[in-house]
Structure 1
Amino acid sequence: MKNLKNSLAIGLSLTLLLFVQGFAHAQTTIEEFAAKWENSKQFTLEVVDKMPDDLMNYKPHESAMSFAEQIIHLSSAAAGISQRFLNGAAPSFDIGAKPSNKAEMKAFVTACFDYAKATVGALSAEQLAESVEIFGSTGTRRQVVGLIDDHTTHHRGAAIAYIRANGIEPPRFRGM
């Protein structure tokens, strides 16, 4: 019985160690982020394309953001967070813009995503490891990059739900 407990404890310890090591190395490189972010941009543009013009202001509840607001928010947040917390230069476009049609929205999405990608791509390994205060918390710039990606996915997912709520088949997800 004692050997079984020792073996179990060793096995559990090794599993935990491997998990922690795998997690520590799970961070993506800038090149991997850039490829994933480009895919995210293209997917977001496909989501915008799927929603008919007359449903851009659709929202499932009065307290919810509209479809257009979801897309504008996820885009402007990516650019704004990049500028403020990732040493971004002043963008060449208005982060606070409110596109009024699909063509303007797609141009805005493209500008915001490209700006975030360029800003992240300009960071050195040392800068990515630096801690910054962000929204009442502290994290590394690398974690801020993950936050931008997660935030984008969250709001794009809501926009996809709006498409489905209107009986429209959303674009097929592709992770890479």
Structure 2
Amino acid sequence: MKKIYLLLFLTSYTAMSQQITPKSAFLEKWNNSKTYLLEMADAMPEEKYAFAPTEREMDFKNQLLHICGNMLWLSTTYFSDEDFDRKKLADNAPNTKNEIIEFLKKSFDEVSTRVTEVSEESLTTKVDFFAGPKSKLQILNLLQDHVTHHRGQLIVYLNLNEIKPPKYVGW
């Protein structure tokens, strides 16, 4: 009987360890984060995209564009062979609510594609980062952290405009 339990445990453990990896966990969370942020972007009326709680904070629109810029910078720089062109990004920034929502979708998808294409093993590779050497896994954490940080600000923006934020789906 003990052998059967051991066999079941090992089989289950092996199946789980093959399914749950840092990369797959990130991609699942990333997709949920995309869904949640898109719902927030959609909830804010376009005429409120210029809203900022104070003069020293970015408005709603520029928070979203900043999130996209960071996503594209980190994913291009650390998960591709391409050079990131900040000026090109700024020169082609979308303006309308619909354009910004499409840009958000494309930015999230671009990160997903790049992360999907890297090997699990490469996530331990150390890269030069302005705050000191980081592993690519740490860069994935930074990607998610940055989105979460600014998304939290956007929740406040919605609440200050008496707009109920969407239900959290970031699990």
Say how many residue pairs are matched: 148
Corresponding residue number in structure 1 for 2:64: 71
Alpha carbons 1:72, 1:105 under 8 Å: kept: yes
Corresponding residue number in structure 2 for 1:145: 140
Task: State the Cα distance separating 1:89 from its structure 2 match.
Answer: 4.2
Alpha carbons 1:53, 1:102 under 8 Å: kept: yes
AA aligned opposite 1:160: I
- 1:25-82 Cα shifts (integer Å, max 9, x gaps): xx95212211111111111110001101110010011110000111111112111111
What secondary structure, in the 3-state scheme, does the structure 2 residue paired with 1:134 have?
coil
Length-normalised TM-score, structure 2: 0.80
AA aligned opposite 1:74: I
Distance 2:81 2:25 in 1: 20
Corresponding residue number in structure 1 for 2:27: 34
What secondary structure, in the 3-state scheme, does the structure 2 residue paired with 1:172 have?
coil
Distance 1:161 1:98 in 2: 24
Structure with the larger RCO, 1 or 2 (CA within 8 Å, 6+ apart): 2
Alpha carbons 2:49, 2:59 under 8 Å: kept: yes
Distance 2:141 2:70 in 1: 13
Larger Rg: 1
Task: State the Cα distance separating 1:163 from its structure 2 match.
Answer: 0.6
Change (3 A) 1:53 1:44: same
Unaligned runs of 5+ in 2: 1-19
Length-normalised TM-score, structure 1: 0.78
